Amino acid sequence: MPLQAATGTPRRAMTPAAFVRGVVAAYARYGKDPAEALNRGQVLPDLVISGDGRVTAAQFEALAGHAMRELDDEALGWFSRRLPWGSYGMLCRASITAPTLEVALKRWCRHHRLLTEDVLFELAVGEETATISIREQRQLGDLREFCLVTLLRYVLGFSCWAVDSTIALRAAEFPYDEPGHVSVYPTIFCKAVRFGADRAGICFDRHYLSLPLTRSAADLDSMLKGALRLTVLPYRPYRRDRLLVERVRRVLRASRGRSLGAEDVASELALSTRTMHRRLREEATSLRELKEEAKLELAKLELMRGRAPIKRIAEIAGFRNEKSFSRAFRNWTGASPREFRGRYR
């Protein structure tokens, strides 16, 4: 599967030569010549053996796409049996009719076993996060990294497409030592990457699981015509993060009235400040509006508890003094803090 930056240009060479060698190794396994595939990808022989060489997403897409068809193996030799061309398309069709992403991913994990039991997908859901991990059932040898990275990109790319949204990863981990091309990992996954883990996996906010799938069978037919391109840039077509507003709200709630600047919030979200502001505008809101909303929610919660003095609640909610808090609260609710507390009681 081609690899490329979530926000970078498709023309930038990002895919390590190590993955090009993975495709060449698939040809060696089947006793065939990779020359035509390398020609399709415009990959020079010197680059194949390069320790730090890179190719563009378009090059790798052409290379891998031709190899999968010519070898009739979408797994490119990773598994004990080949996966004929169209195998992952079938997996997409089995998942696309699910009502939510959670159901779709559970189907993906279950139905992937029909393709192979050499690796098993597992979905674990916690209080705050969800994790998709891969349990290896056999030795993957020299193709281990190429296989595990690609499989995670497959499921991530499909998920983003299915819900029409960026899915912001909180963490990614892998069960091997840090590779020489480690610098590409934060670009193709996220900044929080760990090596030497028990298994490969990606972690994200569990609330993405409740998003409905928005794609039709006709959409799927169209997508499958360029499915490799989709997995090259799983984020790029989805400038919108359908959970971004809620993620910002959670960061602000957790601050408990502590003053957070735009840089602080953006850092918590693993975004640039500029990207955060732009995406909030696309969602018809702003950081300032969400901060005011968070202050109101915190103030209402403290008032309903009925213990703290109004002055203390003003401080907790992040106001300079009780007067400014009372004025803002009346503008929000039509009642003073004391009137609101009395009504609640």
From the list 161, 112, 114, the residue with the least C-alpha distance to 133 is: 112
Determine the pLDDT at residue 238. 62
Q: Extract long-range pairs of 149-152: CB within 8 Å, 24+ residues apart.
A: 149/1, 149/3, 149/19, 149/174, 149/188, 149/200, 150/1, 151/119, 151/121, 151/200, 152/189, 152/200, 152/201, 152/202
Determine the pLDDT at residue 345. 65
State the DSSP string of 70-129: HHT-TTTT-SSS---TTHHHHHHHHHTT-SBHHHHHHHHHHHHHHH-SSEEEEEEE-SSE
Count of Cβ atoms closer than 10 Å to residue 159 Cβ: 24
The answer to whether 48 touches 24, Cβ cutoff 8 Å, is yes
Count of Cβ atoms closer than 10 Å to residue 289 Cβ: 12
CA distances 295 to 14, 266, 298, Å, are 43, 18, 5
Please report, in tens digits, the pLDDT of each residue of the chain (345 residues total): 444 333 333 457 788 899 999 999 999 999 999 999 999 999 988 888 887 888 888 899 899 999 999 999 999 999 999 999 999 999 999 999 999 999 999 999 999 999 999 999 999 999 989 999 999 999 999 999 999 999 999 999 999 999 988 898 999 999 999 999 998 898 889 889 999 999 999 999 999 999 999 898 898 888 888 766 656 554 455 667 888 888 898 888 888 767 788 999 998 887 889 988 988 888 888 999 898 888 888 888 888 887 788 888 888 888 888 888 888 888 888 888 888 888 766
Determine the pLDDT at residue 287. 92
